[in-house]
A and B are shown apart, each in its own frame.
Chain A
Amino acid sequence: MLRPEEAQRPYTVTELANEIRRELRPLTALLVKGEVSGMKRGTAGHFNFSIQDGVSRLDAVLFADEARRVTTLPEDGQVFIFRGRVDFFGKTGRLSFIVDQVEFDDVGKLRARLEELKRRLEAEGAFAPGRKRRLPFLPRAVALLTSPTGAVIHDLQETIWERYPNMGVVVYPVQVQGATSPASIARALRRCNEEALADVIVIARGGGSFEEMYGFNSEVVARAILASRLPVVTALGHTSDRTIADLVADAECRTPTEAGARVVPKKSDLIALLRERGRRLDREAGQRIAREVERLTLKRQRVLQLLPALVRMRSERLARAAADLARLSPVQQVARREEALRERSRRLTAAAMSRLARGRTTLAGRRAAERLERALAKRFDVARSTLGHRRQQLIAFSPESVLARGYSITQDAETGAVLRSSADTAVKRKLRIRLAAGHLGARVEEVEQ
């Protein structure tokens, strides 16, 4: 403060203002708790507002650089703990609290809000495995959403190119912490989908405290991930809690290295796999042809083997046909029938002989010799009388008996032929006429028909 002896010369306003600033300098790294009101964003990205506790009011400013770093942007009516210093601005004559950090008054309340958001998203099915998009097997390029200054870009790029030397990487720089991070991440996600320069998105940062990870627990980021057409992979570092971004993402990794291995296959593996397929294809094609050649060879051999047999079969059939033909010829048939007749006659003779022998045996068996003789004698008598009768008949029919009844037989004297008709002779032919007793020689005088 000014001492009385120095007050003799009046200060200029600027001098006093500077003096006030100097005196306020110890008031740095202060924590002040109060409610926000009159929040306004200036053209340069600075935020102006008031912090109040119902009795007193303090002007406050959050510069643009700081605003990007803070975990959350203060809003009217919310109570925060602000860290900062007090400064006096000579130009405006106002005293302001320059904020460099904003903390929630009650982390418990924030966690409760977070749990409520989780429940809501879960009820919508936002975490369901069935909803998750499949990562492409081989992306054309990988989009990386991360802080432009961190080591994350380097780590991910190294992993990706080690695995796949010609993979493309498209970096979308985003605010990974601070009040502006949710909007920044959501914007970048939308751009990725619109520009479609890559087939998969990796959101990465190097871990952090619960407050620092605030953006990844915001509904804005969750909705942007859910709305993304391209699959999203998170790599948010080793944190104690999984963020909502991790829960709604299509795959969740911890480090950029892990994410790189997850989104990009090893090119050497793919090349080896294709070579193996190529070899199998060549082998199959070769074997198929070889099998066909073998089949043809076998068929040819079979034909060659079968040929003589086929010829033999044909000639045998021919021989059989010739035999059939011969068997059917008339000469053969007559010969066969003669043979059959001879066979039958042999069988007949044999049968008769055996029958006779049997009869003879029977007769002998019955001692019928006398009866036989008697029967024979009787049969002789009958035969004799029949014979006598027959002789009488014979005599009655003999030419002599006919001649005796006055008939004569006229024969041609030269040929001896018996004449039955006048036409059998001619005039002057010599005739011999046989009478019952004696012959007459005669000559034909006249022939009457």
Chain B
Amino acid sequence: MNDELTYEKALEKLDEKLKLLEDGDLSLEDALKAVDEARVYLKVCTERLEAARHKIEIRPETAEE
């Protein structure tokens, strides 16, 4: 599932979990589960930040029409 997640989506999910936790209505078990999931999303976000490759590529025009 993590391959399809963009930085933005992962951040959205992370914020959802944080909100659930901060609202404080979760049972201990659910809260621990939410914490684990939130950590996964946090990791995905961090990975996405580093995923881009620093380079400049020139794609010259091919033969004209």
What separation, in Å, do the CA atoms of A166 and B15 have in the docked complex?
Answer: 25
Q: Would you call B35 and A284 a contact (CB within 8 A)? A: yes
A342 an interface residue at 8 Å Cβ cutoff? no
Q: Would you call B65 and A183 a contact (CB within 8 A)? A: yes
Given known contacts A172-B59, A195-B59, A281 and B21 CB-to-CB distance under 8 angstroms: yes
Contacts of B56 in A (CB 8 A): 157, 168-171
Given known contacts A277-B14, A284-B21, A141 and B35 CB-to-CB distance under 8 angstroms: no
Q: Choose one: B8, B24, B38; the contact of A137 (CB below 8 Å).
A: B8
Quick one: closest B residue to A137, CB to CB?
B8
Q: Choose one: A140, A165, A174, A278; the contact of B61 (CB below 8 Å).
A: A174
Q: Would you call B46 and A137 a contact (CB within 8 A)? A: no
Contacts of A167 in B (CB 8 A): 52, 54
Q: Would you call A166 and B50 a contact (CB within 8 A)? A: yes
Q: Choose one: A139, A140, A165, A280; the contact of B18 (CB below 8 Å).
A: A280
A104 an interface residue at 8 Å Cβ cutoff? no
Quick one: closest B residue to A144, CB to CB?
B56
Quick one: closest A residue to B50, CB to CB?
A166
CB distance from B10 to the nearest CB of A (A): 10
Q: Would you call A138 and B21 a contact (CB within 8 A)? A: no
Interface size of A in residues (CB-CB distance below 8 Å):
42
A271 an interface residue at 8 Å Cβ cutoff? yes
Majority secondary structure of chain B interface residues (helix, strand, loop or mixed):
helix
B1 an interface residue at 8 Å Cβ cutoff? no
Contacts of B11 in A (CB 8 A): 273, 277
Contacts of A165 in B (CB 8 A): 54
Chain-B contact segment, one of A31-39, A184-192, A202-210, A439-447: A184-192
Contacts of B53 in A (CB 8 A): 141, 166, 168
Quick one: closest B residue to A188, CB to CB?
B61
CB distance from B19 to the nearest CB of A (A): 10
CB distance from A241 to the nearest CB of B (A): 28
Q: Would you call A197 and B57 a contact (CB within 8 A)? A: yes
Q: Would you call B21 and A173 a contact (CB within 8 A)? A: no
CB distance from A415 to the nearest CB of B (A): 102
A318 an interface residue at 8 Å Cβ cutoff? no
Q: Would you call B65 and A187 a contact (CB within 8 A)? A: yes
Q: Would you call B28 and A267 a contact (CB within 8 A)? A: no
Quick one: closest A residue to B53, CB to CB?
A168
What separation, in Å, do the CA atoms of A166 and B65 have in the docked complex?
Answer: 35
What separation, in Å, do the CA atoms of A174 and B64 have in the docked complex?
Answer: 11
Q: Would you call A168 and B65 a contact (CB within 8 A)? A: no
CB distance from B37 to the nearest CB of A (A): 10
Q: Choose one: B7, B22, B38; the contact of A138 (CB below 8 Å).
A: B7
Q: Would you call A166 and B52 a contact (CB within 8 A)? A: yes
CB distance from B60 to the nearest CB of A (A): 6
A246-294 at interface with B (beta carbon < 8 Å): 267, 270-271, 273-274, 277-278, 280-281, 284-285, 288, 292
A388 an interface residue at 8 Å Cβ cutoff? no
What separation, in Å, do the CA atoms of A45 and B64 have in the docked complex?
Answer: 10
5 A-B pairs closest in CB distance: A137-B8, A166-B54, A284-B21, A138-B7, A285-B35
23 A-B pairs with CB atoms under 8 Å apart are: A137-B6, A137-B7, A138-B8, A140-B52, A148-B60, A166-B54, A168-B56, A169-B55, A173-B61, A180-B64, A188-B61, A195-B59, A270-B45, A270-B49, A273-B11, A274-B49, A280-B18, A281-B21, A281-B39, A284-B18, A285-B21, A285-B31, A292-B28
